[in-house]
Amino acid sequence: MFRRLHEPASTVTVFVDDAPLRVAAGETVAAALLGAGIAVFRAAPRHGGPRGPYCMIGNCYDCLLEIDGMPYRQGCLTTVAEGMRIHRPMEHEEPK
C-alpha cells in the first residue's frame, strides 16, 4: 500500500506491541507504521471498528497510540526515536 521513494539514510529500532521494527530515522510514528504495512492503529471506542491514520496532520485523532507509556498520543505528530515503545490499543480501554 505504501512504499518509500528511496532508502533511508539512517534507521532506528522501535518496538510495536513489543516486536522490534527498524524504521527510518526522522519520520513520524504514523508514517513508520504505515511504511511497515501496519494500517490499523487502534479500535474505535464506541463500536470497536479498526481505525488508522486519516489526515496525517493532527486534525482527526484516528492515529492515537500509547507511546512510551503515554496514552492518546497522535502518531502523525510524533517523531520516532531509538527504543521507542509503541502500543496499539486494540480494545476499548478506559482512560487511566
Burial track 26-50 (b if 16+ CB lie within 10 A, e otherwise)? ebbbbbbbbbeebeebbbeeeeeee
For the whole model, what pTM was predicted? 0.88
* Domains identified in the chain, total number: 1
CATH number at residue 77: 3.10.20.30
Q: Which domain holds residue 25?
A: 11-87
**Block residue for cell numbers 496525517:** 56
Q: What is the pLDDT of residue 1?
A: 66
Q: Report the alpha-carbon distance of residue 40 to residue 28 in Å, rounded.
A: 16
In terms of phi and psi (left: phi > 0; alpha: psi -120 to 50; beta: otherwise), the region of 60 is alpha
Q: Report the alpha-carbon distance of residue 9 to residue 74 in Å, rounded.
A: 25
The answer to whether residue 2 sits within a structural domain is: no
Going by pLDDT thresholds of 50, 70 and 90, the confidence category of residue 4 is confident
The answer to whether residue 6 sits within a structural domain is: no
